[in-house]
Amino acid sequence: MTQITFHSAPDKSPQKSRLAQRLTWYANRLRAMSVPEVGHRVVEQINRRSASLRPYGWAAFDEGTGPIPRLPIALPDPIHNQRRLVADWSAVADAATAGGLELLGQTWPHGPVQEMWHWDPISRRIWPREAYCFGIDHRGASGYGDVKFVWEYNRLQFLPPIAALAAVTGRDDRTAFCLQQLESWIDANPPFKGVNWGSGIELALRAISILTVLAFVEDSAISAALNRKLRACLAAHAFWLDRYPSKHSSANNHRVAEAAGLFLIGTLAPDLKHADTYAVRGRRALFAEVERQFHEDGVGAEQSPTYGSFTIELYLLCAWLADHVDKPFPSSMARRLGRAGEYLRWITDPASNQPRIGDDDEGRIFSSRQGRETHYVSSVLGCLASYLKRPDLAPPATPPHLRNLIFGAPPRRRPAPKGTRSFDAGGYTVMRNEIVGRNALLVMDHGPLGHLSIAAHGHADALALWLHLDDQPVLVDAGTFLYHSGSRWRDHFRSTSAHNTLSLGGASSSTMAGAFNWSHKARAWREQPAIGAGEYEMAAGHNGYQRGFGVIHRRKVSVTDNRISVKDTLLGDFTQLPAVEIGFLFHPDLDVTVEAGAVCVASKTEHHLLCMMPDPGLSASLYRAETSPPRGWYSPSFGEKCPASMVVLRPNREGDRSWTTQFVISRSSAWQGPLSP
């Protein structure tokens, strides 16, 4: 059993530097606010300061003993047939009880239980436990790792699979462990002290975990004292969620999670004080947000398939419960979620992979196994297909998951969509077809940067491309890596130079103004393509470089026979261009070499997957794991980065304003005939 020493190291960072960073952050954040939002923030700050003066404790939320609120989940019989599911739960239980639980690429060892709730696995320090939650600077706080690490552990999402396992196996010790963990959390986190009370989305997800754990626990296993603590805990969570909702420029997926938390607590614990109000407000907010969080064509407004799936999972849970209590949500919500499912199905390859677009912090509503959930989007898509009774949305096979106990197994899938489809509101054109016997998935970005005025989770990826061949991602997004503590790495992974598109003078097409804020946003648009027999074409442009350099970037992508042609053109009145770079990032599993100006790409199973042939006016350079400046990095999951091959093309002739790059696809050994129309 691994042991760990806990300590609180002194903060040795320059206070002046930290103050300057905070002032800059506040200035940029203020610029992104409307006048009504400024008024809202002023009132919010007054309420926060007022609340800091009140001596809150669990006694303030004491509701006495009473009915245990729980999600109405029924275990299938016999569940022992789901061997992989039970094995996954057993692995989580073993890791959590013995030390070695893996979350976000970090391992939580065995240690003093009360200390673990505030322990940072990066700095090995303890976050402040007695300070008022809104008085703790968690945005890049000096000496700590990213706050997401401690928040991830405190979501308690490792407990529901252990509780489910206990219900299946009848092991009372597993049940006792879950209840001990819940009681320990309550004792170590009085309202509203410590970093774990500072974000509404964290409260909502933790409340869902508690309600899910209790779904698998009999009343007889819960003492009267713990009954009282659990009810007070949920009452405090609902109170804080209702008091500080994410509004205006912050009303992204956080708003949906907070509304879900209120709706679930208010519905499942109707005897708590203000429960009816919580349920009504949560339900009303969910109605209002569904058409804001998803464009009319189904693309998630945050421009991230994983964040869109996270939001879908929240809506599924609330809709499922609304059906259970005979108060179903309106059919308009199901229609919008169905469109979201259509978009996700279009970008799902035969191996259930999707292009990773925008931010991904591995946020989930339900966890069922150790480590990263590699097919999260497809798992949620399968649940959506089941709930909506739409087999056309069902993805290729995905591993069984705890969420399937609630929403059901995916229906028998139908053939994948084929052809070309543009999602103009969300801003993506998707081409799915065969190229010399290979299933090709090609996606082009011509959409907005992200959601609301700060576009918090968007990347500067205007006109970027993603390419999958069969079950292999080829051209990929660099990923996310870190949030609050990422600093220059956060900037790099969001920058244009980290994406498969053109950059000018080392600048990004949109301008960053903080880790979750942008001061200038490129506007992109799709141009009408010419589609002929056997030919697929998509074209788009963006104005991100017009203000700084006086040019428009236009990109046309054509698919003919065995190749994909990418033509980049700069339009505008100018005499001299800054440095032009056209970058292409390849998945780290691929072997990339530059030979005589051509780029050869091999996979683990094929010596020759494709050949990239730049325009004669371009020179190709290969980068891998460079740090000054960063180039050739890929983040497979939050908190992790690894080397990947990036090819950067640069013009070697003055006066050129247009360049074409050819991707010649090698014929698959399974090739049976010409390109399908």
The pLDDT, as a whole number, for residue 486 is 60
Q: Do 464 and 386 fall into the same domain?
A: no
Residue 159 lies in a domain: yes
Kindly tell me if the per-residue pLDDT of 675 is higher than 60. Answer: no
Kindly tell me if the per-residue pLDDT of 622 is higher than 70. Answer: yes
Rg (CA), the chain: 26
- The token pair at 621 is 């350079």
The pLDDT, as a whole number, for residue 9 is 36
For 332-383, write each residue's pLDDT tens digit: 999 999 999 999 999 999 999 999 999 999 999 999 999 889 999 999 999 9
User: Which H or E run includes 411?
Assistant: none
Average pLDDT, the chain: 90
445 and 438 Cβ atoms separated by less than 8 Å: no
Q: 624: left (phi > 0), else alpha (psi -120 to 50), else beta?
A: beta
The pLDDT, as a whole number, for residue 427 is 97
Q: Do 283 and 402 fall into the same domain?
A: yes
Q: Do 291 and 320 fall into the same domain?
A: yes
- Model confidence at 534, pLDDT cuts 50, 70, 90, reads very low
Pairwise CA distance, residues 609 & 471, whole Å: 12
The pLDDT, as a whole number, for residue 17 is 58
- 297, 381, 393, 401 from 342: Cα distances, Å: 9, 9, 6, 22
Mean pLDDT confidence for 559-577: 89
Kindly tell me if the per-residue pLDDT of 262 is higher than 60. Answer: yes
For 426-467, write each residue's pLDDT tens digit: 999 999 999 999 999 999 999 999 999 999 999 999 999 999
Residue 66 lies in a domain: no
Portion of the chain with pLDDT greater than 70, in percent:
92
Domain finish residue from 218, 244, 270: 244
Pairwise CA distance, residues 257 & 373, whole Å: 20
Domain of residue 476, CATH code: 2.70.98.70
Residue 254 lies in a domain: yes
For 48-65, write each residue's pLDDT tens digit: 999 999 989 999 999 999
Q: Do 160 and 210 fall into the same domain?
A: yes
Q: Do 385 and 499 fall into the same domain?
A: no
- Model confidence at 653, pLDDT cuts 50, 70, 90, reads confident
The pLDDT, as a whole number, for residue 587 is 97
The pLDDT, as a whole number, for residue 15 is 46
Domain finish residue from 194, 211, 244: 244
For 282-332, write each residue's pLDDT tens digit: 999 999 999 999 999 999 999 999 999 999 999 999 999 999 999 999 999
Q: Coil, strand, or helix at residue 354? A: coil
The pLDDT, as a whole number, for residue 529 is 65
Residue 65 lies in a domain: no
Q: Do 561 and 649 fall into the same domain?
A: yes
Portion of the chain with pLDDT greater than 90, in percent:
78
- Model confidence at 78, pLDDT cuts 50, 70, 90, reads low
- Model confidence at 8, pLDDT cuts 50, 70, 90, reads very low
Pairwise CA distance, residues 375 & 353, whole Å: 7
| 3-state secondary structure labels for all residues of 2-52 | CCCCCCCCCCCCCHHHHHHHHHHHHHHHHHCCCHHHHHHHHHHHHHHHHHH
Q: Do 308 and 202 fall into the same domain?
A: no
Q: Do 410 and 532 fall into the same domain?
A: no
Residue 348 lies in a domain: yes
Kindly tell me if the per-residue pLDDT of 471 is higher than 50. Answer: yes
Whether the predicted model's global pTM rises above the 0.85 cut: yes
Mean pLDDT confidence for 650-666: 93
Residue 27 lies in a domain: no
- Name the DSSP class of 300: B
Residue 231 lies in a domain: yes
Q: Do 170 and 78 fall into the same domain?
A: yes
- Model confidence at 550, pLDDT cuts 50, 70, 90, reads very high
Mean pLDDT confidence for 232-255: 96
Domain of residue 257, CATH code: 1.50.10.100
The pLDDT, as a whole number, for residue 643 is 97
Range of the domain at 312: 250-417
The pLDDT, as a whole number, for residue 141 is 61
Number of structural domains in the chain: 3
- The token pair at 15 is 């206070």
Q: Do 342 and 198 fall into the same domain?
A: no
For 406-415, write each residue's pLDDT tens digit: 999 899 878 8
Mean pLDDT confidence for 480-489: 84
Looking up tokens 């519905």, which residue turns up?
Answer: 267
User: Which H or E run includes 591?
Assistant: strand 591-595
Q: Do 176 and 260 fall into the same domain?
A: no
669 by Cβ neighbours in 10 Å (0-12 / 13-18 / 19+) ranks as exposed
Pairwise CA distance, residues 194 & 548, whole Å: 44
- The token pair at 489 is 């790495």
Distance of CA 314 to the CA centre of its chain: 13
**Closest listed residue to residue 181, CA positions, set 156, 206, 198:** 156
196 and 133 Cβ atoms separated by less than 8 Å: yes
Q: Do 409 and 473 fall into the same domain?
A: no
**Closest listed residue to residue 105, CA positions, set 639, 563, 461:** 639
For 422, how many CA atoms within 13 A lie in the half-sphere containing its CB?
16
| 3-state secondary structure labels for all residues of 98-158 | HCCEEECCEEECCCCHHHHCCECCCCCCECCCCCEHHHCCCCCCCCCCCHHHHHHHHCCCC
**Closest listed residue to residue 149, CA positions, set 105, 111, 187:** 105
Residue 168 lies in a domain: yes
Domain finish residue from 385, 417, 449: 417
Pairwise CA distance, residues 253 & 285, whole Å: 12
Kindly tell me if the per-residue pLDDT of 25 is higher than 70. Answer: no
